[in-house]
């Protein structure tokens, strides 16, 4: 494993355009429950109840949605970036990161120090709430206060429209700008590093394939096997945090930044 860690570090040093693709494995290492894991949100709620169509359909569905969303937001609010987030932010600081494409909605890449222009949030963000009518954006904490104060289905101050966390729900269209940008970055990078993703949720999971088909090296760092391990140039099975911390140390030494 150490040889592969060193190899990935050498690729980062030599790379002109490194894209990091991050998934739920980063969030769980920061204490945020995985929706699909035992004890996760979908153990207590039925995902079918929370489609975008259901959210739009009735006040009762929206009330149930906000109940679930409020419960899920608590661990996000308390979470801190782990070693993987911090290592990825350091890569940006060293000029060795083209962008982060993330499936996560927790904003931890920003807390770690990545800049907004370097992070593409494919599945939206739980940190903000948006009006589905006029697109006004609210800080999530402001809306949480309203809910704790008794509002069960918050509405927009400006137009009275329905408010929803700025995440992508089942049945909701992927964000067009972010998806196009992610495909573009994937197709033009020379190194694509998957960190903490099982690579099963589409269309996001196809991006490593896009990168590989366009000539990029592919490295996968994940606790469990993924469908793309067979085409990867390097695979490391392990925790995202400790693995990325080790890679960063080798990168720093190679760049002469470790002294």
Which positions are catalytic? Answer: 123
CA angle 62, 70, 84 (to 5 degrees): 125
**Sheet harboring 163-167: ordered strands across?**
137-139, 124-131, 163-167
Given a contact cutoff of 8 angstroms between Cβ atoms, the answer to whether 101 and 22 are in contact is yes
- DSSP assignment, residue 216? -
Q: Which of 202, 178, 166, 135 lies closest to 69, judged by CA?
A: 166
Burial class of residue 35, CB neighbours in 10 A (0-12, 13-18, 19+): middle
- Locate all alpha helices (DSSP H) within the chain, ordered by sequence: 2-14, 24-28, 41-44, 52-57, 59-78, 83-93, 108-112, 140-148, 176-188, 207-213, 240-255
Residue 187 CB: number of other CB atoms within 10 A?
16
Parallel/antiparallel/unpaired status of strands 137-139 and 124-131 = antiparallel
Give the dihedral of Cα atoms 79, 196, 100, 6; nearest 10 deg: 120
Q: How far apart are CA 61 and CA 159, in angstroms?
A: 21
Backbone angles phi, psi at 19, to 5 degrees: -110, 130
């Amino acid at each position: 494993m150490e040889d592969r860690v060193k190899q990935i570090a050498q690729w980062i040093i030599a790379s002109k355009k490194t894209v990091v693709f991050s998934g739920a494995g980063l969030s769980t290492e920061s204490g945020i429950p995985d929706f699909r894991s035992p004890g996760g949100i979908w153990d207590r709620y039925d995902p079918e109840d929370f489609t975008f169509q259901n959210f739009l359909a009735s006040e009762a569905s929206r009330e149930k949605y906000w109940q679930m969303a409020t419960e899920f937001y608590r661990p996000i609010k308390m979470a801190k970036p782990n070693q993987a987030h911090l290592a990825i932010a350091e890569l940006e600081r060293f000029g060795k990161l083209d962008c982060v494409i993330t499936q996560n909605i927790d904003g931890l890449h920003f807390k770690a120090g990545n800049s907004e222009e370097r992070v593409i949030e494919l599945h939206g963000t739980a940190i903000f709430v948006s009006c589905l009518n006029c697109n006004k954006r609210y800080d999530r904490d402001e809306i949480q206060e309203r809910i704790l104060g008794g509002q069960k289905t918050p509405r927009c101050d400006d137009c009275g429209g329905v408010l929803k966390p700025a995440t992508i729900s089942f049945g909701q269209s992927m964000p067009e700008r972010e998806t196009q940008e992610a495909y573009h970055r994937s197709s033009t990078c020379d190194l694509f590093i998957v960190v903490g993703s099982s690579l099963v949720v589409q269309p996001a999971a196809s991006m490593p394939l896009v990168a590989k088909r366009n000539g990029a090296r592919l490295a996968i760092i994940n606790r469990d096997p993924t469908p793309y391990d067979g085409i990867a140039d390097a695979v490391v099975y392990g925790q995202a945090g400790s693995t990325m911390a080790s890679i960063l140390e080798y990168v720093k030494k190679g760049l002469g930044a470790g002294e």
